[in-house]
Amino acid sequence: MTALSANLQAVRARIESACLRAGRDPAEVRLLAVSKTFPADAVVEAAAEGQRAFGENYVQEGCAKVEQLAALGLEWHFIGPLQSNKSRLVATHFDWVHSVDRLKIAQRLSEQRAPHHAPLNICIQVNVSGEASKSGVAPGELIELARAVSLLPQLRLRGLMAIPEPTEDEGLLRSRFALLRTLRDQLNETFALGLDTLSMGMSADLDLAIAEGATVVRIGTAIFGTRTPLTESTP
């Protein structure tokens, strides 16, 4: 058994245990393997172990993998900050975008998603920690943005995403995950949007995220190992 295979099994077991402790069905939580900065060969190895959904943060790197591995029929999620000048590539190559935080980006993705493609699944990123440097719409501005995004053609608003500020205070971290769940529930109650996705939780905190209702956990390091930082140039 390779290291990656063992890591993947360990993460799946950790997700199952977290679900059982929370009184949840493990089938409710999807594992998104974050393959950014790792080569296509690593994705192929994970796919051979049954992993189907992969997350990428960098547009050019991600698009190259999508094209190279098209024959595998994988599901690709863009989870990084998205610049307007790269939205067409994302609209063309990816199945999901987790990091929409302003209407302009959503409008461009809608306009640039080809009619013959299935609607692009969208999560709105919410800044649940109030960090000035962190991407994401403020909770108080979410309702207006969600309503506008839900009306755009060629997009399907699926839910919310958050990357809380790292903290050793588990109670504080859980409260931020709980805030995202509350916001999702409020949108569903007010506008009947049918949002079914809470993209929250990473290698260090997936257990707490699952306890607060995560439906997608984004796991990279615990599967692929320590990554080398990559800075993508802007054309």
What's 168's domain CATH number?
3.20.20.10
Q: Tell me whether residue 235 is in a domain.
A: no
Mean pLDDT of 107-130: 97
Number of domains the chain is built from? 1
Q: Is residue 234 over pLDDT 80?
A: no
Q: Tell me whether residue 234 is in a domain.
A: no
Q: Is residue 142 over pLDDT 90?
A: yes
- Reported for 185-191, long-range contacts at CB under 8 A and 24+ positions apart, including other chains, are 186/143, 187/142, 187/143, 187/146, 190/143, 191/146, 191/147, 191/150
Q: What is the pLDDT, as a whole number, of residue 88?
A: 98
State the residue range of the domain holding 185.
Answer: 3-224
Q: Tell me whether residue 69 is in a domain.
A: yes
pTM: 0.95
In Å, the largest CA–CA distance within the chain is 49
**Measured distance CA(72)–CA(48) in Å, rounded:** 10
Name the band, by pLDDT with cuts 50, 70 and 90, for residue 31: very high
**Measured distance CA(210)–CA(213) in Å, rounded:** 5
Mean pLDDT of 132-136: 81
Q: Is the dihedral of CA 225, 226, 228, 231 positive or negative?
A: positive
Q: For the segment 158-194, what is each residue's pLDDT rounded down to a tens digit? A: 999 999 999 999 999 999 999 999 999 999 999 999 9
Q: What is the pLDDT, as a whole number, of residue 229?
A: 63
Q: Tell me whether residue 233 is in a domain.
A: no
Q: Tell me whether residue 217 is in a domain.
A: yes
Q: Tell me whether residue 53 is in a domain.
A: yes
Q: Tell me whether residue 229 is in a domain.
A: no
